[in-house]
Structure 1
Amino acid sequence: MDRRRFLQLTASSLAMSGSGIASSVAQAQWPTKNITMIVPFTPGGSTDILARLIGQRFTEAWGQGVVTENRPGAGGAVGSVALARSPADGYTVGMGHIGTLSVNPSLYSNLQYDPIKSFAHISMLARVYNVLVVHPSLPIKNVREFIEYARQNPGKLNYGSGGNGSAAHIATAAFMVATGTQMTHVPYRGTSPAVADLLSGQIQFMMTGGPAVLPHARAGTMRALGVSGPNRLKSDPDIPTIAEAGVPGFDATQWYGMMAPTGTPDDIVTKLTKEVHGALGSKAMQEALERDGAEAWPTTPQEFRDIIASETKRWAEIVEKAKIKVE
């Protein structure tokens, strides 16, 4: 090897080494600027509320702002694709939930992200029970009366959701399969406008995450009939579960998790997971979640992936039984 070639190779090696060192230092100092949190739904829904709670904790812990970026559309697929295609540098994270990670694969044949392969999974965040709420004008006081009314008036009850294929849409479809009822779906571009139309009486009921509707139920502007999970809410123990109120075994629980784009450095994912677990373990966060009818659910990244896989199988069966089509 001649002297000139040797010097070229040596310079190149040093440059690469220096780049690696600089990268390691940058990761060790992370974060040094604001973090973007992609929420694949409109503001005001359960996913958005939870994202902002976690984002506040990150800001307090690291002194860097967390900018919430709402990217709704196609049952959360638009925001999920945006997250998957973001730079894997630790400065973009995002929210996923039962719909985007375990229901959408059964609904969209051309889904442009893979719930497992497209993301670096950080941790599950919370379980949120759906709450069946009706407009106070309906002559209905409990789940049994609701089922009977729906059977006597097939197709006449209109329910809202955050969009075709959303968790609220699928949960209500599962309820109809379980009860042999027929009701009309009115999809919205997000949970908040659906809640607004329920408050005004434009639609008659919803089954959606507690954070979006419990404050209205407590205020008396909606009537809460039942909770979709296996247990009553600690925050609202007077609301029975749908299972005990007339539909044995019924369970349609929403869940939420945090991811980053695949390829995000492992040490940053580990730091994010640790901070999420710290947030979920704090008394203040647990009380905030409880007020919204949610419960903390910290997991390892691998446990998160395992849950996605098992839930995808479960909801594929429900989508098939309910004959749900969104394309």
Structure 2
Amino acid sequence: MKKLFALTLTTCLTLAGTAAHADDAYPQQTIRLIVPASPGGAADAIARLVSPGLSASLGQPVVVDNKAGASGTIAGAAVAKSKPNGYTLLMAQSTSIVIAPHIYEQLSYNTLKDLVPVTQVVRVPNILVVNPQVPAKTVAEFIALAKTKPGVFNFGSAGIGSPSHVAGEMFDRQTKIQMMHVPYQGSGPAVIALLANQIQVMFAPITAVLPLIKSNKLRALGVTTIVRQPALPDVPTIAESGVPGFDINSWFGVFAAAGTPPDIIARLNRDIIQVLKDPHVANAIALQASQAVGNSPQEFAALVRNENQQFATLIKEIGPQTMR
């Protein structure tokens, strides 16, 4: 009996030691970082900025894998249905995590249950810009002008359900003006249309329009965040310009499949934050007028839950059919 107990104890200790060794050894193979956009987009650029440093830190290649389409939900499904072992990750935009689930009724996965947050990587403010032919110089002047011309002004977006679309609908609702939404396939085409005065207004990612604002090709009226942005310190927030509480921005963050071991999530979180602190990476993000974040999985999860509820309420009030 004693021999049997000793053998059992030895076996358990050996198995425990093997499991611990396996956890400590992560990663042992190539890691896929799936991006819900085509090469050249914002999510792709951020993934390719972070992946070399993450590869060096983890000691294994981190390969960017582009899976565009359906507001990021194709990429999201690929990660949500992958093995929860830390070898398939998602560089998601806020659109696909907290907005798309309330627009598309039959997603094959649940963004809150089937994906686990690792860390928020960057925050990208949006900014209300107009074609210079629009006479308004401030947010208040634009609201007053738009109220005298309901349905005349067209606002463009990067696509249905994008942050630029949701920001426009939110602005319409809170100011009680009536603009027409014109969706494009990305921020680039929408900005080109804005320059050509085919649309007059856009809630654009600041990264897409900063040079055009500085060269006076577009006029900035207000930023969509609750605080002013260092890249344009003289441009007021929309909230301080007569639309109290207006606060919406884009973000990109890394997710893994639900069920991924906590120690792997912790390792990825630590290493990604380390990469974001690298001067080369930090400077590249700052030059894009974006803000590096690098928060804890718990802080990121809280942000996702809060924004999910916020957009659920907003889209329900607007009407999902209007957003499609």
TM-score interval for Structure 1 and Structure 2 normalised by the shorter chain = 0.7 to 0.9
Distance change >3 Å, CA 280–CA 105, structure 1 → 2: same
Task: Tell me which of 202, 205, 208 is aligned to 1:206.
Answer: 202
Q: Distance in 1 between matches of 2:112 and 2:272?
A: 20
Deviations 1:120-179 (A, max 9, x none): 321122322211122233333222222223222222222222221122111111111111
1:114 aligns with 2:106: no
C-alpha contact (below 8 Å) 1:171/1:207 kept by paired residues: yes
Distance 1:216 1:89, change over 3 A: farther
Q: CA deviation digits over 1:274-305, x for unaligned, max 9?
A: 01221233444333333333223222222222
| 1:224 alignment counterpart | 220
In 2, Cα distance between the equivalents of 1:42 and 1:72?
A: 5
Task: Give the letter aligned to residue 289 of structure 2.
Answer: G
State yes or no: 1:263 paired with 2:259. Answer: yes
Which residue does the alignment assign to 2:146? 150
* Maintained 8 Å contact 1:84/1:113: yes
1:91 matches 2:87: yes
CA contact (8 A) 1:243 1:251 kept: yes
Superposed displacement of residue 265, structure 1: 3.6
CA–CA distance in 1 between the matches of 2:311 and 2:77?
Answer: 21
| Residues paired across the two proteins, number | 314
Partner of 1:56: 52
Deviation at 1:57, TM superposition (A): 2.6
Q: What root-mean-square deviation, in Å, do the aligned CA atoms of Structure 1 and Structure 2 show?
A: 3.0
8 Å contact kept, 2:167–2:203: yes
Counterpart in 2 of 1:241?
237
Corresponding residue of 1:13: none
1:275 match: 271
Matched, 1:196 2:192: yes
Counterpart residue number, 2:136: 140
**Offset at residue 269 of structure 1 (A):** 1.9
8 Å CA contact retained: 1:72, 1:190 = no
Distance in 1 between residues matched to 2:55 and 2:190, nearest whole Å: 31
Distance 1:32 1:223, change over 3 A: farther
Q: Percent of aligned positions with the same letter in both sequences? A: 37
> Could you tell me which of 304, 308, 312 is aligned with 1:312?
308
1:291 aligns with 2:296: no
1:236-271 Cα deviation digits (max 9, x unpaired): 212211122232221112233210122334333221
Paired with 2:245 and 2:269, the residues of 1 have a C-alpha distance of 33
User: Paired residue for 1:66, among 59, 62, 65?
Assistant: 62
- By how many angstroms is 1:314 displaced? 1.5
**Counterparts of 1:22 and 1:220, CA distance in 2:** 63
The 1-side partners of 2:15 and 2:190 are apart by 51
Q: In structure 1, what is the Cα distance between the partners aligned to 2:135 and 2:39? A: 31
Alignment TM-score, normalising by the size of structure 2: 0.84
Contact kept, 8 Å, 1:46 with 1:209, in 2: the verdict is: no
User: Does structure 2 conserve the Cα–Cα contact (< 8 Å) formed by 1:140 and 1:146?
Assistant: yes
TM-score, L = length of structure 1: 0.83
1:185 aligns with: 181
Q: Aligned equivalents of 2:16 and 2:133: distance in 1?
A: 65
Aligned partner of 2:167 among 162, 165, 171: 171
Comparing 36-45 with 305-314, greater Cα deviation is found at 36-45
2:74 paired residue among 73, 78, 97: 78
Report the AA paired with residue 104 of structure 1: A
The answer as to whether partners of 2:33 and 2:89 remain within 8 angstroms in 1 is yes
Displacement after TM superposition at 1:29 (Å): 4.1
Shift of residue 43 of structure 1? 4.2
Offset of residue 231 of structure 1? 0.9
The more displaced of 109-118 and 134-143 is: 134-143
Q: Structure 1: how far apart are the matches of 2:180 and 2:78?
A: 31
Distance 2:198 2:59 in 1: 44
Compute the displacement of 1:60 (Å). 4.2
Q: In the superposition, relative to structure 1, how do residues 60 and 159 fare at CA in structure 2: closer, same or farther (>3 Å)?
A: farther
Contact 2:137 2:221 (8 Å CA) reproduced: yes
> How far did 1:228 drift?
0.5
